[in-house]
């Protein structure tokens, strides 16, 4: 897998990105972390491209081939599979406890870097609509997972500590993941 990530270039063809995401979605399905993936979903919110339904393990994808790569099927699907593994790691997340996959300042900063690289810069605002990724350990984990799956060499180069931590945690859930 690693040799497919062009040395020094992070422009992986969209088809190859989709293949990598499909592979990990199939693995997550076989191992019971994802129940099913529904494609061509039309979301009410036009800015949404994918959704993972916690508890029932369903993934919905609704991507547009005109979108920029971070919103295309491969990265979106890998991101949602990342949510599925995070859910399996911390089933009570957001309800009672606040699990923290990324603990150190380095891990958090590196995770944020990958998230911005894949999905665009964080929106800074003082209002109630603070960017959903800001401070969300789970969103950062989904982004780091997507990067690790889609562009493993870049992920490890840009975010070595965050990727190592994610590999340790998610690798315990599935021996075939990394
Ligand atoms: Zn997400």
Q: Distance from the CA of 88 to the center of ligand 1, in angstroms? A: 15
**pLDDT given at position 4:** 53
Spatial contact of 124 and 131, defined as CB atoms under 8 Å apart:
yes
The packing angle between helices 160-173 and 73-89, to 10°, is 60
3-state DSSP helix/strand/coil percent for the chain, to nearest 5? 50, 5, 45
Environment of ion ligand 1 (residues, CB < 5 A)? 139, 142
User: What is the spatial distance between Cα 56 and Cα 41, in angstroms, rounded to a whole number?
Assistant: 17
DSSP 3-state of 65? coil
Higher local confidence (pLDDT), 23 or 129: 23
Q: Which residues contact 97 (CB under 8 A, 6 or more apart)?
A: 90
Query: pLDDT category, 10, cuts 50, 70, 90?
Result: low
Query: pLDDT category, 9, cuts 50, 70, 90?
Result: low
Q: Distance from the CA of 5 to the center of ligand 1, in angstroms? A: 24
What b/e string do you get for 129-164 counting C-beta neighbours within 10 Å, with b at 16 or more?
eebebeeebbbbbbbbbbbbbbbbbbbbebbebbbe
Q: Which residues contact 43 (CB under 8 A, 6 or more apart)?
A: 49, 51, 60, 62
Q: Distance from the CA of 142 to the center of ligand 1, in angstroms? A: 6
Q: What is the pLDDT of residues 55-86, one digit of tens each?
A: 899 999 998 888 877 778 899 999 999 999 99
CATH for the 2-173 domain, from 1.10.10, 2.60.40, 3.40.390, 3.30.450: 3.40.390
Q: Distance from the CA of 49 to the center of ligand 1, in angstroms? A: 10
Q: Distance from the CA of 4 to the center of ligand 1, in angstroms? A: 26
Q: Distance from the CA of 3 to the center of ligand 1, in angstroms? A: 28
Q: Distance from the CA of 2 to the center of ligand 1, in angstroms? A: 25
Sign (positive/negative) of CA torsion 97, 177, 69, 62? negative
Task: Answer yes or no: pTM beyond 0.95.
Answer: no
Domain ranges of the chain: 2-173
DSSP 3-state of 24? helix
Q: Distance from the CA of 129 to the center of ligand 1, in angstroms? A: 16
Backbone angles phi and psi of 49, in degrees to 5:
-120, -20
């Amino acid at each position: 897998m690693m040799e497919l990530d062009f040395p020094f270039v992070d422009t992986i063809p969209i088809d190859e990105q989709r293949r990598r995401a499909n592979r990990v979605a199939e693995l997550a399905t076989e191992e019971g972390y994802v129940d099913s993936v529904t494609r061509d979903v039309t979301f009410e919110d036009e800015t949404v491209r994918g959704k993972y339904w916690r508890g029932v393990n369903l993934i919905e994808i609704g991507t547009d081939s005109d979108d920029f790569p971070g919103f295309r099927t491969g990265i979106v699907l890998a991101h949602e599979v990342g949510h599925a593994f995070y859910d399996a790691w911390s089933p009570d997340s957001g309800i009672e406890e606040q699990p923290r996959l990324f603990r150190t300042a380095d891990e958090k900063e590196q995770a944020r870097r990958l998230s911005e690289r894949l999905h665009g810069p964080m929106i800074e605002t003082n209002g109630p609509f603070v960017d959903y990724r800001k401070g969300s350990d789970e969103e950062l984990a989904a982004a780091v997972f997507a990067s690790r799956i889609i562009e493993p060499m870049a992920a490890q180069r840009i975010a070595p500590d965050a990727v190592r931590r994610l590999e340790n945690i998610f690798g315990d859930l599935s021996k075939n993941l990394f």
